[in-house]
Amino acid sequence: MESLKIPELVPSAAEDSQQLRKAFVGWGTDEACIIKILGHRNAAQRKLIRETYEATYEKDLLQDLDGEISGDFQRVVHLWTMAPAERDAYLANEAIKHLPGSNCIIMEIACARSSVDLFKVRQNYQARYKKSLEEDVADHSTGDFRKLLVSLVTALRYEGEEVNMELASDEAKILHEKISDKAYSDEEFIRILSIRSKTQLNATFNQYNDKFGNAINKDLRANPKDQYLTLLRSAIKCLMEPEKYFEKVLRLAMKGFGTDEESLTRVVATRAEVDMELIKEKYYKRNSVTLESAISDDTSGDYEKMLLALIGHGNL
């Protein structure tokens, strides 16, 4: 993710801190002020606001927010106010406590972030929880899931555009052999998925399609009820087309009766400054309804207002 520069013509961090403090003091909480400020500030600005707030009032902004608001609104504000690497470390730690049910969250963090961002997550995780991310993942998962997830979270992929077409052809053959043998957790399969750059993997998957007549994920649908295969397909989609992966997560979160607020909150908070415009395009194309409209239909109150503020960020 590109470093975020602070736009001009916005209140200073001192002014924002002062307004937030006013929103907390006295009878009741001014939720509209929280949304107006935090819902319209980028990562660099939020970092300055937190630092200024602590320096001025000797209080942790996140703790004060948690004490003033609650429910889904509190969670989205809390996650959004965190720095991206800090947020991912926090989400990973939460997910690790609920493995294997939350395998997909660990996979998302490992596959949808750049190598630099994933390295920062690992640094943040170690500093905060006094354990390495890979150690905790290994300790709380088993079998094929452990092999895949540990490899993915320890990945340090090359980020350039160079592609070795001979290698792509060779590794497409290896992947096809492993899938034909139903060796989905084979060391070679996981190695290719974990160490190659996303550009190289894209070439490999294109070679797979050209040589064998199917997209790799189609051939990995051997058993739709196999949770490991589901995670494997999700990892490939998350690596290659994260906007399509996250569109699906949002679609399923708001499908049918009831709403999966956990997934909705996580995706909006983690992708608002990354690829939300692409996700919104994919959502409309897939569902013939805007993401804004879907969120308004499925949520309400301050939670709805904060989500709408975040998905309207664009390039902020």
Residue recorded with tokens 């972030």: 113
Q: Per the annotation, does 67 bind a ligand?
A: no
Determine the Cα–Cα distance for residues 21 and 29; give it in Å rounded to an integer: 10
User: For residue 33, how many other CB atoms are within 10 A of its CB?
Assistant: 15
Q: Per the annotation, does 312 bind a ligand?
A: no
Q: Per the annotation, does 314 bind a ligand?
A: no
Determine the Cα–Cα distance for residues 285 and 37; give it in Å rounded to an integer: 31
Determine the Cα–Cα distance for residues 151 and 178; give it in Å rounded to an integer: 18
Sign of CA dihedral 188, 191, 193, 197: negative
Report CA Rg, the chain: 21
Q: Per the annotation, does 257 bind a ligand?
A: no
Tokens of 217: 């994920």
Q: Supply the DSSP string of 165-220, one letter for each residue.
A: HHHHHHHHHHHHHHHHTT-TT-HHHHHHHHHS-HHHHHHHHHHHHHHHSS-HHHHT
Is the Cβ–Cβ distance between 7 and 15 less than 8 Å? no
Q: Could you tell me which of 163, 173, 183 has the C-alpha nearest to residue 211?
A: 173
One-letter amino acid identity for 235? A
Q: Per the annotation, does 298 bind a ligand?
A: yes
Q: Per the annotation, does 39 bind a ligand?
A: no
Q: Per the annotation, does 26 bind a ligand?
A: yes
Is the Cβ–Cβ distance between 233 and 221 less than 8 Å? yes
Tokens of 22: 């006013």
Tokens of 139: 């300790």
Quick one: which H or E segment has residue 76? Answer: helix 71-81
Residue recorded with tokens 């196999």: 226
Determine the Cα–Cα distance for residues 182 and 175; give it in Å rounded to an integer: 10
Q: Per the annotation, does 256 bind a ligand?
A: no
Q: Which residues sit in the known binding site for Ca(2+)?
A: 24, 26, 28, 68, 258, 298-299, 304
Q: List, as residue ranges, the binding site.
A: 24, 26, 28, 68, 258, 298-299, 304
